[in-house]
Amino acid sequence: MATGKGATRLGYTPVVPELPEVEVTRRRLSPMLVGRVIERVETTKDSYFFLTKPEALKRRLTGRSVRELKRIGKYLLAELDDGDRLLLHLGMTGQLFSSAVSSVRLFSAKSRGSLPAEALRQFKADAHTHLSLHFADGGPSVLFRDVRKFGKVALIRAGSEDPRLDKLGVDALAADGHTLFSAARARKIPIKSLLLDQSVIAGIGNIYADEALFLAKVRPTRSARRVSERHCEAIVLASQRVMKRSIATGGSSISDYVNPDGSDGGYQNERKVYARKGLPCLVCKTPIRRVVIATRSTHYCPECQV
Ligand SMILES: [Zn+2]
């Protein structure tokens, strides 16, 4: 996602963790969380990062253990042994990982140069580490770090709902062509906008929407109501294909994202249109075009996609 102000301040264009990164996080974080008793909780001071106040988080999480770590769209949900659920959202720059990591992405160039090699193998909570879970078994902690604080953490009491989850449509990996087609029929908005609407299909983000539309040969600007059921099916299947491929390779290697074990993803080398403006289409050699749809950077081949 390119946002003018943020891009200027950071010196690069931030890209949001999408479903595959969140699913990779879920799979790798699960064994670091499930079954371990939380002994102590550390937080930074209260801010918009905390949908549940830090004091309440500390009180309710201490002594609990995580039964299961689930994912709905781009949200992670840790189900606790008392029935409460801890909702975690990576936002744009959120990083969820074990304290026993060695990812260069967690250390500034300056500290990489000055710290001894041992120090780089163990990350110590810093001013951007908003939530630290320490466990009774004395093993590695689980840390939630977010430089820009667009990530979120909330505790949902047993039996209660959450408006963020209620608004979500079918999870992208469980959706089918009909999910998209029934939402598309009466809509005059571009098909790309509909794909990004989380209340229809939850979890398709900007990169995967562009890639899926390319594979399905549908131009992102086409009016949703002019997309046939067959094409809707092709788009959903293509989105699932690229997301599953991305999960299998460990998520995209995007600016701030780190896997919970500190490793980098590898999907970015397989992108066919996203961030390839002006480069030749891999099918027909026509230069890839970039347009903006609903403030989102959008890439397509004007020849292959109609
Ligand atoms: Zn082409």
Amino acid identity of residue 14, one-letter, is: P
Tokens at 159, concatenated = 């039996």
How far, in Å, from the CA of 280 to the mean position of ligand 1?
A: 8
Alpha carbon distance, N-terminus to C-terminus of the chain: 24
Which pLDDT score is estimated for 186? 83
Please identify every residue whose CB atom is under 5 Å from ligand 1, which is an ion: 281, 283-284, 286, 301, 303-304
* pTM, full prediction: 0.81
Residue, of 223 and 13, whose pLDDT is higher: 223
* C-alpha 210 to ligand 1 mean position (Å): 13
Ligand 1 centroid–CA 160 distance in Å is 49
> How many CA atoms lie within 13 Å of 197's alpha carbon, on the beta-carbon side?
14
Question: Which residues are tagged catalytic?
Answer: 17-18, 74, 296
Residues whose CB falls within 8 Å of the CB of residue 241, separated by 6 or more in sequence, listed in order? 212, 215
- pLDDT tens-digit readout, 98-128: 888 755 555 555 555 666 666 656 677 889 9
> How many angstroms separate the CA atoms of 211 and 192, rounded?
11
Cβ-based neighbour number of residue 170 at 10 Å:
18
Confidence (pLDDT) at 259: 66
Q: Which residue has the tokens 């050699």?
A: 285
Digit-coded pLDDT (tens) for 134-148? 999 999 999 999 888
92 band by pLDDT with thresholds 50, 70 and 90: confident
63-77, 112-126, 256-270: which has the highest mean pLDDT? 63-77
Per the prediction, the chain carries an average pLDDT of 87
What are the structure tokens assigned to 107, written together?
A: 């250390």
Ligand 1 center to 213 CA (angstroms): 12
Average the pLDDT over each of 97-106, 126-135, 240-249 and give the range with the smallest value: 97-106
Q: Is it the case that residue 176 has pLDDT exceeding 90?
A: yes
- State residue 261's pLDDT score: 67
What letters, b where the CB count within 10 A reaches 16 and e where it falls short, cover 104-115?
ebbbeeeeeeee
